[in-house]
Chain A
Amino acid sequence: MPMKAEAQARVSGRHRLTPHLPCDPDYEPLRELFSHHIHSFDHLVEYGLEKALMNIKPVEVVDPNTKLKLRNILLLCRQAKISYTGKFLVDVCFKYGDGPGGAVIREKINFGQFPIMLKSKLCHLRDADHQKLVACKEEPSEMGGYFILNGLERVVRLLNVPKRNYPTSMARSAFRNRREGFTDKAVVIRCVREDQSAVTLNLYYLSNGSARVGFRIRGRENLLPIGLVLKALIDATDHEIFMSLISVYNDKYEKAKGSVGTQILSERAKIILNEVRDLSLFTRIQCLHYIGEYFKPFMDGMENESHSAVADAVLREFILVHLDNNHDKFNLLIFMVQKLFSFIDQTSVPDNPDSLQTQEVLLPGHLITIYVKEKLQEWLLKTKRQLQEETKNRKKNFEFGSLADVKKALDKNPAKQVGLSVENMLKTGRLVTQSTLDLKEKAGMTVQAERLNFLRFVSHFRAVHRGSSLAGLRTTSVRKLLPESWGFICPVHTPDGSPCGLLNHMTASCRITSYYDSEGIIRDFSKIQKSILSVLVGAGMIPALPKLVKAGPPEVLHVLLDGRVVGAIPTDRVEKAVSHLRKLKLSATSAIPEDLEVGYVPISMGGAFPGLYLFTSPSRFVRPVRQKFLPPEGNNNIELIGPFEQVYMEIECADGGNGGRLNEFPATHEEIHPTGILSVVGNLTPWSDHNQSPRNMYQCQMAKQTMGFSSQGINCRADQKLYHLQTPQTPIVRTATYEKYRIDDSPLGTNAIVAVLAYSGYDMEDAMVLNKSSVDRGFAHGYIYQTESIDFADEKIKSDRGQRVFRRNYTKTETHSFIDSDGLPYIGQMIKPGEPYYSTYNEVTSKASDARLKGSEPAIVDYVAVDVKNKKQLQKANIRLRRGRKPVIGDKFSSRHGQKGVCSQLWPDVDMPFSAGGSLHGNFVNATPFSSSVKKPDGTPENESDSLVDELGSLLTARGFNHYGVEVLYSGVYGTELTCEIFIGPVYYQRLRHMVSDKFQVRSTGTVDQVTRQPIKGRKKGGGIRFGEMERDSLLAHGAAYLLHDRLHSSSDHHIADICSICGSILTTTLIERQKKTMRETKGLPPAREPKKVTCVSCQTSKGMETVAMPYVFRYLAAELAAMNIRMTLQLSNGAGA
């Protein structure tokens, strides 16, 4: 019953547009791309804040505790240009008295509104499915991970920071300038506490053979002799320290493979110990006393403490802060000294701080945690000062014991500033701190998550920045693409120009470790570490505690677990231990986390410092690879590996090349897919392995500038500018990524039949000809949606605020066809430039005015939203305008292979070349010659039997086409055969957002600058384009004097000045106003032009008045000089050369 079927289709109307895809959309792969943002924020609100508050130094008698509450105002935020925030309440505990018996009074203090990340645990959309999301007028695929502040969506940029708790040896010339006697070599460790705050500790090598420990307190670096710190940490005899330091040296292994100690070591150890003795410090107590005395002035709130207590605080808060046991600190310091000396003696090479091996990433939640901690600390200190002042004053009856009085005092230091400062940080991306938070960056921490198109939006969350401080660097070493980043950082997806190599993108499979495991349960790191330790001991490790380690490589390897020396493992047992750990990583029953990084640095001749470095910490890069040595039981043989361990692993790639691997090093792991090295955007280029390599980079940039479906709910959005393609298609040629990340939900282009030929000359130099008839039928039609937000309560001039309201002007009836009775435009109304689209009324001055459309393009009112909440009058509105943009000459298009071109002509159907078969029926035909930019990739192996050309060629031949995809075409103009074979076929074409309508700039006459009388600049203001020095040079070189004069004088600030030839001044001449003669006017004749009467004010005469043509700026120069008491005189003469 075909009729019935049709009728049903008419009612249900649900045509499946993507029959190959599952009905229920799976957004999980997509959401996984954003998970690191959300996990880090979840951690912040669940544990991080608590940890941070625990770590805040209690001031006087204050100890806080957290609780967060939230309000649900999400959609409203985008529309009303406000922020999505929740209330940030902190329990501040007041505790009186010193002893544990003192009463604790909890008091909730509101620390202001705290921004909430979308889709985090505080967000009410956290567990919403796509139907609920749509009902909330959100994207069905909404991934979250950003904040909404003032209606703008902002993302915290991921930042590359040094890997936490790993001592890095490096040489920097800046180290030399620290003090006299310093060398450029040091071992640096960035220690991160549980609350994510970091302290970097430097261990410098001195040219005298000793070392200094350096750390920063409030930006100033303090240096301590290493011996002093070692002695202060634990009670150890000089002999014990000496033995520990030289433990890595064993004359048995002198110059053997993997030996890192040398004979000089004992000399250096003596120097280190002598340094302490020279300060006449012999015991631990003396050392602590010495440190305490030195640091007392730097430590806040410790003025009344004993020296040793201060020293304890210094060791706790600045020396290796990730460890809380002094024995651990001691062992790690010894290890660092050994690594430093090995680096000096060239028994090991320095680590590369620019490589991903020694880097991790700073996550949004962690950044906010440390920022909040800093702000709370500041607030507490301020409060303390306030309370002290109050108690000192005592003039009012301020009772310290009474809570009410204390609270009153607290009001003077508004706690809400804390929430506000976090919001401001996210809004501006600027960190306002006194301490640096151990970060090099101060600005640019957040960026707006533009929704220009879906790919651009996604890329914001996958981008990792190296830090803007490196952008100005002259050296290019930081920008290099290093092999260490293989599989983690996309080699293709980085912008051209200044951020090249600094702004990178993670590969599609790359993840960031978090505090949550794959089930979303918070990790218990102490438990994890314990089980790893027991596994290691079982594998033959000698634990470090309580005994001090007395050996080193090549006999045994140090084992570091999250920056703690946990022991040493005999070299012959380490490989077995490593593979055992790797097996346990995959086992679901073991407590070993799946993302444990097993950084086994084997012994080598002068290679990297050997050891077994284990990391369980969050914010590391990880990526999945397939383990080969495990029998595939339980199907799970996917191991997550990090960039540190990757370097020492044998991973083969499924592309068959095997990378020239020798048989001695069989592959233990295998890449899951060859495209795993590419980012999401890079993965969308089909057959990118057949492109010239930079084309792929260009495409990654252009994909992010393409017009497409930026949002499914475009009618619910109030973005300042949105691009929209009317009839997009999914590409014929697709990669698997299109389905995995549901790119078809936000398509980015149209399939067009493209012929590559030279036809008509309008296609030279990356230009292309579009078929006008296709454009008539809707090819690449686009829209620009622009939302104007008007809020009279927030005007620039303070006194004007809240005075104006939207109101129609009833006396001006001619505007009524544009403006509705509420003063706002009709929806669907077309407005031409200069026509009014809303009118306002100032209630104070009773002045009515109309806002008129600017620009040169008509617009259509798409949508109007008003804010009537808690206001009597209409003062806040969003007007969304829609501008149709069909393709015109000058608009930019590109294929998916970095081949961009500008439309140079719209040719009618009949003029386009046609093929005899009629396959080219003119729907979407572009003639695009790629002129110089198409180059065949060189070095394609000849013997490759199943090359892509043959594979596709046979498919073409089977369907009656030419093997190479060429066809015979006929000229549309003459009907004759074009005597060459023309490559023709469907190509997915993207329309880029760069359109002439937004860019063209023309001017004949117009506004001039008030001071210089030269034409103004700026497209918006109708200004001109500067005819600059280089343009001038070119005209001079051509001898085009007349044109030069025309450009620089006649068409610019041509001016005829009156000059007094007697005194030579142009400033003293003045025009004398004659009295008007009314006689002629009475006769009805126009007044005859009278000669201008000009006199010189200084010479008091009209004699010697001359007129000279000159640029007006010359007069301005004379005036400026006169203001500086410099007189300019001109000598006039007739004729040239005189």
Chain B
Amino acid sequence: MEGASYQRFPKVKIRELKDDYAKFELRETDASMANALRRVMIAEVPTIAIDLVEIEVNSSVLNDEFIAHRLGLIPLTSERAMSMRFSRDCDACDGDGQCEFCSVEFHLRAKCINDQTLDVTSKDLYSSDHTVVPVDFSDTGAGFENNEDQRAIARKGIGKDHAKWSPAATVTFMYEPEIHVNEEMMETLSLEEKTSVVESSPTKVFGINPHTQQVEVVDREAYTYDDEVLKKVEAMGKPGLVEIYAKEDSFIFTVESTGAVKASQLVLNAIEVLKQKLDAVRLSEDTVEADDQFGELGAHMRGG
């Protein structure tokens, strides 16, 4: 075991990239890496979100906590977040979280002057820092005869602490499927049977080539590992007609961002955070010691 290197060199291939959406392939690594990346993207990439609300006047129909909670959930543009300090670690303000290094101040003033209901949205929120502003358009609340006057402090945080700091709307990956169609066996089938095989999959994975009338894989990635086709083939008494495997080392990631960070940046930030975490593990001199301390358990955890 000693000395053996498990180092691999994962490859990334970007398929699609938008501001709030990214799709890429991650190859030549295993599930632990892929999942770690996913977890970090959801829970540990820092963003900025409103964390403290001081309400001066609130005569709306919504109560203070409700409004404060909703303010917290507004995604704020958080490009600065990586370089900002956590207010708990901030030396400049002794951790009271109200200085420019660790916080951004917002103001919300809204008053309804007629007898109609006034919609109060994130557009009514005024930031003290032009780099940290609400993403697009989102509701905070609406009230009849509304009068709100509040000061809000936004701080850096991570999704682990509260979902409002999570930059990711969705991060999932799937194992790349490998689909083999036994052409020889397929030839023995009638067109009807072929169609039934094709249609047994709820998603459009297979198709029939109109020219050759052969069953082809149309969209490999539409396959959801539902085994429907395999069951169908089995039921037809032709096991091995179609074989599907999941590639153990190829993953297709789908990343959707809330808009706080661009999807591409989210991935890069996640890798950065992951690196930092690994560095923390490597640098810690206690680890070996701790392993010793745990004795057998430690050995077990190392895989021995």
Residues of A at the B interface (CB closer than 8 Å) are 9-14, 715, 726, 772-774, 776-778, 781, 828, 860, 862, 882, 884, 908-910, 914-918, 920-922, 956-957, 960-963, 966-968, 970, 972-977, 981
Pairwise interchain contact A13-B163, C-beta atoms closer than 8 A: no
| Residue numbers in B under 8 Å from A976 (CB-CB) | 31
23 A-B residue pairs with Cβ-Cβ distance under 8 Å, sorted by A, are A10-B118, A777-B163, A778-B70, A781-B69, A860-B64, A910-B39, A910-B159, A914-B172, A916-B174, A916-B175, A916-B224, A917-B224, A918-B170, A920-B172, A921-B256, A960-B202, A962-B224, A967-B226, A970-B172, A973-B35, A975-B32, A975-B35, A976-B31
Q: How far is the CA of A12 from the CA of B36 in the complex (A)?
A: 47
Q: Mark B284-299, 1 if CB is under 8 A from A, else 0.
A: 0000000000000000
Q: Which chain B residues border A970 with CB–CB below 8 Å?
A: 172
Q: How far is the CB of A865 from chain B (nearest CB, A)?
A: 17
Evaluate contact between A916 and B172: CB separation under 8 angstroms. Answer: yes
The answer to whether A13 touches B63 (Cβ under 8 A) is no
Q: How far is the CA of A10 from the CA of B124 in the complex (A)?
A: 12
B-side interface mostly: mixed
Docked CA distance A970–B171 (Å): 12
Q: Which residue of B lies closest to A962 (CB)?
A: B226
Q: Which residue on A lies nearest to B42, using beta carbons?
A: A910
**Are B224 and A13 closer than 8 Å at their CB atoms?**
no
From 94 to 118 in chain B, residues with beta carbon under 8 angstroms from any chain A beta carbon are 114, 116-118
**Inter-chain pairs besides A862-B63, A918-B254, 6 sampled, C-beta below 8 Å:** A9-B119, A13-B119, A777-B164, A908-B43, A960-B202, A974-B35
A921 to B169, CA, bound (A): 7
Contact of A772 among B31, B163, B172 (CB under 8 A): B163
Kindly list the 9 A-B residue pairs having the minimum CB-CB distance in the complex, ordered from nearest: A975-B35, A916-B174, A13-B117, A776-B163, A773-B163, A921-B170, A968-B225, A975-B31, A918-B172
A758 to B174, CA, bound (A): 21
B127 within 8 A of A: no
The one of A774, A777, A909, A914 in contact with B43, judged by C-beta atoms closer than 8 angstroms, is A909
In the bound complex, what is the Cα–Cα distance between A977 and B177 (angstroms)? Answer: 13
Return the CB mask of B37-59 against A: 1 if under 8 Å, else 0.
Answer: 01100110000000000010010
Cα distance, A956 to B202, chains bound together (Å): 9
Shortest distance between the CB of B149 and any CB in chain A (Å): 13
Chain A residues whose C-beta falls within 8 Å of the C-beta of B65 in the assembled complex: 860, 884
Question: Which residue of the partner chain A has the closest CB to B31?
Answer: A975
Q: With the chains together, A429 CA to B188 CA distance in Å?
A: 83
Q: Does B151 contact A (CB under 8 A)?
A: no
Whether A777 contacts B172 by the Cβ 8 Å rule is: no
**B34 touches A (CB below 8 Å):** yes
Q: Could you say which residues of chain B place their CB within 8 Å of the CB of A921? A: 169-170, 256
A963–B117 CB distance below 8 A? no
Q: Could you tell me the distance between the alpha carbons of A968 and B228 in the complex, rounded to whole angstroms? A: 12
Q: Is B162 an interface residue (CB 8 A)?
A: yes
Contacts of A781 in B (CB 8 A): 69
In Å, the complex CA distance between A715 and B63 comes to 11
Chain B residues whose C-beta falls within 8 Å of the C-beta of A915 in the assembled complex: 172, 224
Distance to closest chain B CB from A728 (angstroms): 13
Tell me the nearest residue of chain A to B43, going by C-beta: A910
By the criterion CB–CB under 8 Å, are B116 and A13 in contact?
Answer: yes
B164 touches A977 (CB 8 A): no
B118 touches A13 (CB 8 A): yes
What is the CB-to-nearest-CB distance from B279 to chain A, in angstroms, rounded to a whole number?
Answer: 21
Chain B residues with CB under 8 Å of A828's CB are: 55, 58, 64
Chain A residues with CB below 8 A from B38, complex form: 910, 975
Q: How distant is A508 from chain B, measured CB to nearest CB, in Å?
A: 33
Q: Evaluate whether A968 and B226 lie within 8 angstroms (CB atoms) in the complex, with A13-B119, A726-B66, A977-B246 already known.
A: yes
Q: In the bound complex, what is the Cα–Cα distance between A646 and B204 (angstroms)? A: 56
Q: Does B118 lie within 8 Å of A11, measured CB to CB?
A: yes
> Using an 8 Å CB-CB cutoff, how does the interface string of B223-250 with A read, 1 for contact, 0 for none?
0111110000000000000000010000
Q: Give the Cβ gap from A954 to chain B, nearest Cβ, in Å.
A: 11
**Once the chains are docked, how many angstroms separate the CA of A862 from the CA of B66?**
13
Closest chain A CB from B16 CB (angstroms): 14
Residues of B within 8 A of A773 (CB): 159, 163, 166
Task: Report if B160 contacts A (CB, 8 A).
Answer: yes
Query: How many angstroms between the C-alpha atoms of A590 and B153 in the bound complex?
Result: 76
A916/B116 in contact, CB under 8 A: no
Query: Is B73 engaged at the interface, CB distance under 8 Å to the other chain?
Result: yes
Q: Which residues of B contact A (CB under 8 A)?
A: 31-32, 34-36, 38-39, 42-43, 55, 58, 61, 63-66, 69-70, 73, 114, 116-119, 121, 142, 159-160, 162-164, 166, 169-170, 172-175, 202-204, 224-228, 246, 254, 256
- Pick the contact of B69: A715, A778, A916 (CB < 8 A): A778
Taking a contact as CB atoms under 8 Å apart, the answer to whether A909 and B166 are in contact is yes
CB-CB < 8 A to A975: which residues of B? 31-32, 34-36, 38, 173
Which A residues touch B256, using CB under 8 A? 918, 921
- Whether B117 pairs with A14 at a CB distance below 8 angstroms is yes
User: What residues of B have a CB within 8 angstroms of the CB of A972 in the complex?
Assistant: 35, 39
Are B202 and A882 touching (Cβ within 8 A)? no
Contacts of B246 in A (CB 8 A): 977
B138 to chain A, nearest CB (A): 13
A962 contacts B159, C-beta separation under 8 Å: no
CB distance from A16 to the nearest CB of B (A): 13
Distance from A347 Cβ to chain B, minimum over Cβ atoms (Å): 66
In the assembled complex, how far is the CB of residue B36 from the closest CB belonging to chain A, in whole angstroms?
8
Complex CA gap A860/B58 in Å reads: 14
What residues on B are CB-neighbors of A918 within 8 Å? 170, 172, 254, 256
Write out the residue numbers on chain B whose beta carbons fall within 8 Å of the beta carbon of A968: 224-226
Whose C-beta in chain B lies nearest to the C-beta of A956? B202
**Partner among A963, A973, A974 whose Cβ is within 8 Å of the Cβ of B202:** A963
Is the Cβ of A715 less than 8 Å from the Cβ of B43?
Answer: no
Chain B residue nearest to A6 in the complex (CB): B137
With A and B bound together, what is the CA distance between A926 and B65 in angstroms?
25
* CB atoms of A13 and B42 under 8 A apart: no
Which chain A residue has the least Cβ–Cβ distance from B117? A13
Quick check: B163 and A962 within 8 Å, CB to CB? no
* Chain B residue nearest in CB terms to A714: B61
Min CB gap A182→B, angstroms:
69
The answer to whether B162 and A776 touch across the interface, beta carbons within 8 angstroms, is: yes
The CA of A860 and the CA of B67, in the complex, are separated in Å by 14
A909, B118: Cβ atoms closer than 8 Å: no
CB of B142 within 8 A of CB of A916, answer no
- Residue among A9, A910, A967, A974 with most chain B CB within 10 A: A910
CA distance A968 to B202 in the complex (A): 13
What B residues does A957 contact at CB under 8 A? 202
B91 to chain A, nearest CB (A): 29
Closest approach, in angstroms, between the C-beta of B232 and any C-beta of chain A?
12
Whether A977 contacts B73 in the complex (CB less than 8 A), given A917-B224, A957-B202, comes out as no
CB distance from B87 to the nearest CB of A (A): 19
Question: What is the chain A residue whose CB lies nearest that of B246?
Answer: A977
Say how far A921's CB is from chain B's closest CB, in angstroms.
Answer: 4
Shortest CB–CB separation between residue B218 and chain A, in angstroms? 14
Nearest-neighbour CB distance to chain A for B150, whole angstroms, equals 12
The reply to whether A962 and B31 form a contact with Cβ atoms under 8 Å apart is no
Please state if A12 and B172 are interface contacts (CB–CB under 8 Å).
no
Q: Which residue of B lies closest to A781 (CB)?
A: B69
Who on chain A is nearest to B174 by CB? A916
- For B66, what are the chain A residues with a Cβ–Cβ distance below 8 Å? 726
Taking a contact as CB atoms under 8 Å apart, the answer to whether A909 and B225 are in contact is: no
CB distance from A810 to the nearest CB of B (A): 26
Q: Which residue of A lies closest to B223 (CB)?
A: A916
Instruction: Identify which of B70, B163, B254 contacts A909 (C-beta below 8 A).
Output: B163
A781 to B72: give the CA distance in the assembly, Å. Answer: 15
Q: How far is the CB of B166 from chain A (nearest CB, A)?
A: 7
Residues of B within 8 A of A14 (CB): 117
Known: A915-B172, A916-B173. A909 touches B159 (CB 8 A): yes
Q: Let me know if A961 and B202 touch, CB within 8 A.
A: yes
**Nearest CB of A to B234, in Å:** 15
CB distance from B96 to the nearest CB of A (A): 20
Q: Which single residue of chain B is at the shortest CB-CB distance from A862?
A: B63
A380–B6 CA distance with the chains assembled, in angstroms: 104
A782 to chain B, nearest CB (A): 12
